[in-house]
Structure 1
C-alpha cells in the first residue's frame, strides 16, 4: 500500500522527499530555540543565524562574522599542515626504528669481539626503542606548550637518532 501523499505512487526509501511534510510528527525530542555554540566553532547551513556563541551573543549574519571565519580558516589550515608534518615525522621515526633493527642485527657479529653479548643486546634494544620513546616522550611532554616547541624537539630527535650503522653499512655492505 502506498502513501496517499506520494504523487506518482512510488515510495523510495532512500529519498529525502517529504521530510518537510507538516503532518510528520517529531520523535518527542525538543530542540532548544537558540543553541549555544562553543568558542572557535562557526555555525553553517540552515538555521545558523539562530545559533549563539558561548558568550551569549548572537552571531551576526555577514560582516562581523566574516572576520572570524577568515581567522578560523587560517587556524584550520595551520592545524592541517601541523597534522601532515606530524605524520611525516612519525614516518621518519618509524623508518629510524627499522633502520636500527637492521643496523643492530648487522653489528651483532662485530660487537661480540668488542663487547660482551650481555652488554650489547640491551644496547641494541635501547637503540631500537629510542626513536619510538623520543617521539612518544616529545608528544607527552609538549602537550600544553606551543606547537613550535613540539616540532623543534621532534626535528632535533630526527637529527640525533639517525641509525648510523644502517646509513654507513646498509644492508649488504661489510
Structure 2
C-alpha cells in the first residue's frame, strides 16, 4: 500500500502537462457497424472518380530530388558530391596509417643522423639536407594523398596510402639497427 507521499516521489512537477503526452496505446475505435439491409433491391451507386493529388502536398520524389545523370558539377560541389564521409573504421584506419608515417619520419631522421658519423665522402650539408627531405617525405605523402584524393573512393585512398607505406620504409634505419 502506498501513501500519497510515496506517489509524489515517483512523479515530477508538470507530469500532467498535455503537451508531453505521447498518447496511449489503445485498440482503435470500431467503425460504426453497418445497418441491417433493407428488403428493397439495391440501387447502383455512382462510381466516384479517383482522387487526384493536390499541389499542396509533396510527393516523396520531390522531397529528395536526385541529380540528373547528365548534369555536370564543377568546383567544390563536385568533391562533396562524389565523396562520402568516412565511417569509424575508416577514421581508425587513417589514424593508424598516420601513425605509421610519423614513425617512418622518425626512422628516416634517426638513420640520417647516424649516417653523419660514418665518414661518408659526402659533405655534411648534403647529408643534413637529404636527412630532412627523407624525414619529411612520409608526412608529405600522407597529406598529399588526403588532400588530392578527396573525391576518390575510400579504398582508392587507402591503396595509395599503403603504396606510400611500402615505398617510404626507412631501410637505412632497419639495416643499421636501432642501437648500432
| Cα separation, partners in 2 of 1:79 and 1:9, compared to 1, 3 Å | closer
Q: Is the 8 A contact 2:112 2:127 kept in 1?
A: no
Supply the distance in 2 between the matched residues of 1:97 and 1:20 (Cα, whole angstroms): 61
SS of the equivalent of 1:114 reads: coil
Gaps of 5+ in 1: 1-5, 12-16, 25-52, 58-74
Gaps of 5+ in 2: 1-5, 20-59, 65-83
Q: Bigger radius of gyration, 1 or 2?
A: 2
The reply on whether 1:125 has 2:120 as its aligned counterpart is no
Residue in structure 2 matched with residue 56 of structure 1 by the alignment: 63
Larger relative contact order (Cα-Cα within 8 Å, sequence gap ≥ 6):
2
Normalised TM-score (structure 2): 0.54
Alpha-carbon deviation of 1:81? 2.3
Aligned with residue 137 of structure 1, among 117, 130, 144: 144
The size of the alignment, in residue pairs, is 119
Normalised TM-score (structure 1): 0.56
Supply the distance in 2 between the matched residues of 1:168 and 1:157 (Cα, whole angstroms): 19
Structure 1 runs (4+) greater than 6 angstroms displaced: none
Residue in structure 2 matched with residue 68 of structure 1 by the alignment: none
Specify which structure has the higher proportion of helix. 1
The reply on whether 1:86 has 2:81 as its aligned counterpart is no
